[in-house]
């Protein structure tokens, strides 16, 4: 059914870069055979999943939506996709993204732009736009994305689905193509909080292959979900005051305010919380992320991976011509910003300063979590914008990340749940941010709200 739907919808949506129909059917048949033989089947047996094309899949192209990895077929499997396969999931394909996950509209893909299933003239958000659109359009049941500054939560908000960025270190990054390693986290998309929670269970857990992986007990996130918040004693929810200022669409403000009232009527105690350093999130992120990216992307030199431009005169011209041809404009912009910010004369003024601001933002959260258990704010200040509207103006695109970036800078979990529609029928997202390893609580609150 998923493959049929993909065939019908892909000419309009372009959510997938590769559809792995053959393998999917084989995997599905293997599950059927197990059932017929009365063998034990996994948590996700037979469930069609989409995987963002920046996660390595052995023998299946992994392009990061970049020309530089056009022919790259990984010789190894990422931990998350291995875990999904072990749980019996059926991968139907690799989903589209902004090149190397840099962007917020999926228009930076070197191959195709993905459309928003709610309005094909609009973007699905990004960078995990393909994964969000595929779930929203029912091309698969759940999918995986990666979130460095909002790339799961923002497209979830634009596409009217649930998307979660886990605590940094909860999900292994082994086999995830690195963008900004201190911020990157893989996470789940689903059409319900419960589906999202089940997928998180399948991918979370310690992995010795990732040096930043946390050694912690993983609870059953989908267990004990209840439609109200009363049973759990006093739950204190903090509304982040600074996210309700200038630049917030009034329809988004209204929907989120209504959602907060609803949380209150479900039994939560509402507090107004100030996070004064949030407004420095975007400027510090757009120093730190490009700095890390400029180092991570140095490996694409025409020697080890993917593209090599032919007929270069010498080694240096091979490097420069390969990189000039292989990387798109946004990726080049980030490499230049990052290289500049890390260079000897500017390191203290930019990179070090941004790292100090990162600490201040973390302290804002620590202070907030002394008073409340969960924080709430809009996921994005607007609903989905028109294709072509912002991709010539990078700064206007960066500014949309102001509410999602702080959780990445502090390593905290965040979830976006649908909370209504604007007057054009476009979905709006509510963001809940939790304490370190507070996934369990976030999922419980999101579930109660969703009911
Ligand atoms: N929009 C942000 C950026 O362009 C976030 C991307 C992400 O989370 N991968 O960097």
Q: Which of 47-56, 106-115, 224-233, 407-416 has the lowest mean pLDDT?
A: 224-233
**Per-residue pLDDT at 195 exceeds 70:** yes
Which residues form the catalytic set?
52, 127, 151
Whole-angstrom distance, CA of residue 221 vs CA of residue 104: 28
Tokens of 366: 């620590």
Q: Please state, in angstroms and rounded to a whole number, the distance separating the CA atoms of residues 163 and 143.
A: 9
Share of the chain above pLDDT 70, in %: 100
Q: Is 330 in the pocket of ligand 1 (CB under 6 A)?
A: no
How confident is the model at residue 245, as a pLDDT? 85
Distance 344 CA to ligand 1 centre (A): 26
Confidence of residue 358 (pLDDT cuts 50, 70, 90): very high
407 contacts 391 by C-beta, under 8 angstroms: no
Give, for 234, the enclosing helix (H) or strand (E). none
Question: Does this model's pTM top 0.95?
Answer: yes
Most ligand 1 atoms within 8 A of CB, residue of 95, 131, 149 to mutate: 149
Q: Is the pLDDT of residue 363 over 80?
A: yes
Binding site membership of 150 for ligand 1 (Cβ less than 6 Å): yes
pLDDT tens digits for range 25-43: 999 999 999 999 999 999 9
- Rounded to an integer, the average pLDDT of 180-207 is 98
What backbone torsions phi and psi does residue 164 show, to the nearest 5 degrees? -130, 135
- State the DSSP code for 57: B
Q: How many Å lie between the centroid of ligand 1 and the Cα of residue 152?
A: 9
From the CB of 104, is ligand 1 less than 6 Å away? Answer: yes
Q: Is the CB of 103 under 6 A from ligand 1?
A: yes
Task: Supply the ipTM of this predicted assembly.
Answer: 0.98
Instruction: Report strand pairing: 427-434 vs 374-378.
Output: antiparallel
Ligand 1: distance of its center to the CA of 176 in Å? 15
Per-residue pLDDT tens over the stretch 313-357: 999 999 999 999 999 999 999 999 999 999 999 999 999 999 999
Q: Determine whether 151 is exposed, middle or buried from the number of CB atoms within 10 Å of its CB (0-12, 13-18, 19+).
A: buried
Q: Report the nearest atom of ligand 1 relative to the CA of 151.
A: 8
d(CA 446, CA 17): 31
pLDDT (tens digit per residue) in 226-280: 998 886 678 999 999 999 988 899 999 999 999 999 999 999 999 999 999 999 9
Looking at the predicted structure, is the pLDDT value of residue 419 above 80? yes
Distance 277 CA to ligand 1 centre (A): 20
Sign of CA dihedral 132, 136, 137, 142: positive
Contacts 24+ apart (CB under 8 A), 73-76: 74/175, 76/175
291 lines ligand 1 (CB under 6 A): no
User: How many angstroms separate the CA atoms of 123 and 125, rounded?
Assistant: 5
Give me the phi and psi of 266, to 5 degrees please.
-80, -5
Contact criterion met (CB below 8 Å) for 45 and 38: no
Helix (H, G, I), strand (E, B) or coil at 378: strand
Asked whether residue 401 carries a pLDDT value surpassing 80, the answer given is yes
Nearest to 436 by CA among 377, 376, 373: 373
Share of the chain above pLDDT 90, in %: 96
Contacts of 359 (CB under 8 A, 6+ apart): none
């Amino acid at each position: 059914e998923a493959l049929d739907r993909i065939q019908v919808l892909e000419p309009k949506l372009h959510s997938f870069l590769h559809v792995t129909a053959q393998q999917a059917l084989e995997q599905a048949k293997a599950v059927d055979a197990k059932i017929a033989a009365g063998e034990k089947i996994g948590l996700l047996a037979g469930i069609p999943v989409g995987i963002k094309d920046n996660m390595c899949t052995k023998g299946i192209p992994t392009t990061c939506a970049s020309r530089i990895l056009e022919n790259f077929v990984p010789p190894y499997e990422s931990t998350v996709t291995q875990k999904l396969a072990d749980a019996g999931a059926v991968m139907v394909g690799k989903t589209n993204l902004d090149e190397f996950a840099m962007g917020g509209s999926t228009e930076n893909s070197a191959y195709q732009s993905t459309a928003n299933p709610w309005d094909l003239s609009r973007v699905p958000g990004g960078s995990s736009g393909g994964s969000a659109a595929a779930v929203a359009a029912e091309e698969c049941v759940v999918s995986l994305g990666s979130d460095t500054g909002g790339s799961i939560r923002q497209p979830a908000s634009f596409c009217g689905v649930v998307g979660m960025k886990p605590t940094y270190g909860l999900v292994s990054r082994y086999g995830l193509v690195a963008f900004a390693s201190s911020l990157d986290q893989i996470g789940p998309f689903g059409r319900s909080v419960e589906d999202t929670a089940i997928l998180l269970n399948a991918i979370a857990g310690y992995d010795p292959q990732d040096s930043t992986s946390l050694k912690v007990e993983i609870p059953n996130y989908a267990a004990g979900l209840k439609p109200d918040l009363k049973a759990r004693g006093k739950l204190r929810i903090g509304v982040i005051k600074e996210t309700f200022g200038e630049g917030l669409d009034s329809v988004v403000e209204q929907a989120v305010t209504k959602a907060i009232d609803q949380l209150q009527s479900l039994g939560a105690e509402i507090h107004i919380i100030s996070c004064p350093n949030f407004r420095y999130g975007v400027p510090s992120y757009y120093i730190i992320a490009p700095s890390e990216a400029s180092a991570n992307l140095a490996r694409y030199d025409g020697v080890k991976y993917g593209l090599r431009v032919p007929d270069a005169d010498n080694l240096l011209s091979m490097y420069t011509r390969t990189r000039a041809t292989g990387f798109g404009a946004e990726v080049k912009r980030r490499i230049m910003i990052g290289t500049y910010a890390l260079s000897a004369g500017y390191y203290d003024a930019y990179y070090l300063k941004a790292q100090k601001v990162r600490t201040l933002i973390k302290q804002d959260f620590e202070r907030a979590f002394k008073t409340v258990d969960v924080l709430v704010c809009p996921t994005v200040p607007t609903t989905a914008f028109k294709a072509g509207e912002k991709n010539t103006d990078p700064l206007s695109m960066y500014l949309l990340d102001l509410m999602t970036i702080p959780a990445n800078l502090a390593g905290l979990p965040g979830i976006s749940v649908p909370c209504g529609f604007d007057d054009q029928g476009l979905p709006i997202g509510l963001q809940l941010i939790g304490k370190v390893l507070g996934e369990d609580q976030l999922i419980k609150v999101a579930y109660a709200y969703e009911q």
